[in-house]
Structure 1
């Protein structure tokens, strides 16, 4: 069976590196255990409110609606075509703005939920990243998967450091989904 994140990402183009990392959010020997449903619904809600990115310490920017009070609007749920910017600080100091566009968003299925986005010009990497929670026989699992290659001079120059930073953020995404209040 193909993972819904694989379908959202599509095949990795030649020359791109890819990865997939998962963490169990709930496990039970009884597939009817209500705790599995609670864990799945909690994870779905977190994904709809950008939980992995916010939990990793990132900020998100979206174009504000003209009627937004004081220029602030609630974060929109991931939806196909939505564009925004992830904002983080490299080494806690250097601000990094990474534009993206959501290419897949699926929150209506009974056994999976998530979204995928592609990078836009100005992002240090070129590629796609997907965030999905799945529910199977006695297991609720969160998965982050991506394919990418350096897009800007400093990400190409950074080589192994760029991969270390990407791995660090992947760990933060997984941890954010695993330790949030139940």
Structure 2
């Protein structure tokens, strides 16, 4: 089950106690932009083009448990996740993952490329609450880091799509 529901254009329900966030950005127009962006999103392109590493670097599949590494200030922060939903339709492509123990925050995130007429858009959905252990006290700082990452996510596929 996915709380961020990447298969749906409307995101209505979510559990209480989480910070909910959603936004979309236009990547461009036409089939070439769609083909490139829909392929890239299913290969972790939003994350890797934002400065994260993903291991293994393979196409997303429900149940996969890759390790994402963030690299703030020359450090490496391990972010274990599990892919909980994948959508691969003619007008909507993307996935959602939930965080696993050891991740700095608790929650779920979805990256979806979809069409609106000829326009190609990227929608990002996120549910977040403090992580466990020592990460809990760092939550205010992690929210700032999350805001920076989100700005990078919104640019990640737009950079290539604009060419």
Q: Structure 1 pair 4/110, CA: closer, same or farther in 2 (3 Å)?
A: farther
Equivalenced residue count is 158
Is 1:96 aligned to residue 91 of structure 2?
A: no
Distance in 1, Cα, partners of 2:122 & 2:31: 14
1:93 offset after TM fit, Å? 2.5
Is 1:87 aligned to residue 88 of structure 2?
A: no
Distance in 1, Cα, partners of 2:44 & 2:128: 21
- Superposition TM-score, scaled by structure 1 size: 0.79
Q: How does 1:73-152 map to 2 (within 5 A)?
A: 75-90=57-72, 92-107=73-88, 109-152=89-132
1:127 offset after TM fit, Å? 0.8
Distance in 2, Cα, partners of 1:38 & 1:81: 30
1:10 offset after TM fit, Å? 8.0
Distance in 2, Cα, partners of 1:154 & 1:180: 38
Contact 1:128 1:147 in 2 (8 A): yes
Partner SS, residue 56 of structure 1 = coil
Q: Structure 1 pair 159/123, CA: closer, same or farther in 2 (3 Å)?
A: closer
In structure 2, list runs of 5 or more residues that go unmatched: none
Distance in 1, Cα, partners of 2:93 & 2:5: 8
In structure 1, list runs of 5 or more residues that go unmatched: 28-35, 63-74
1:141 offset after TM fit, Å? 0.5
Partner SS, residue 174 of structure 1 = helix
Q: Deviations over 1:94-147 (max 9, x none)?
A: 22000000011122x111100100111111111110000110223211011110
Aligned to 2:22: 20
Aligned to 1:44: 38
Distance in 2, Cα, partners of 1:46 & 1:96: 23
1:169 equivalent among 149, 155, 160: 149
